[in-house]
Amino acid sequence: MTAAAALESLFNEDLYQLPPRVLIILAEPWEEVSEDSRTLVAKILSSVRLSLPVVHIITRSDFSVDDLAAFAPTRIISFGSVFKSAHKPYENTVVGNTSVIVADRLVQLDDAKKKSLWQALRVMFGI
């Protein structure tokens, strides 16, 4: 029996299975985000059955999946931060094992952009 197999049989309870890591990237620091925008983020997350305490929020003006390897994200949702790889905004782009959605800044999201974001989130989360 290999060491990995031994660990899998030892710790097979849900208690030890960590959920996939979701990373939210903002172009501005969280402290500078308005209350309305914070509420919008919470509503977006609740639409995919997540909440603010279970995601990791960072601030970056631009990013690549390799830059964020230390966070080990499985899903990245960017609001206003520039993705260095080829992509289309408001579409789920898969880079390696990481799904990425790039959207405009929170204050720039109108109804049409919110609808496009929802469609991309449905693909990302399999809803």
72: domain CATH number is 3.40.470.10
pTM of the model as a whole: 0.79
Residue 87 falls inside a structural domain = yes
Q: Which domain holds residue 56?
A: 18-125
Residue 6 falls inside a structural domain = no
* pLDDT score for 16: 52
Residue 51 falls inside a structural domain = yes
Domain count within the chain: 1
Which portions of the chain are predicted below pLDDT 50? Answer: none
Residue 10 falls inside a structural domain = no
Residue 115 falls inside a structural domain = yes
Distance CA 44, CA 38 (A): 10
Residue 2 falls inside a structural domain = no
* pLDDT score for 33: 86
Residue 57 falls inside a structural domain = yes
Contacts of 104 (CB under 8 A, 6+ apart): 79, 80, 89, 113
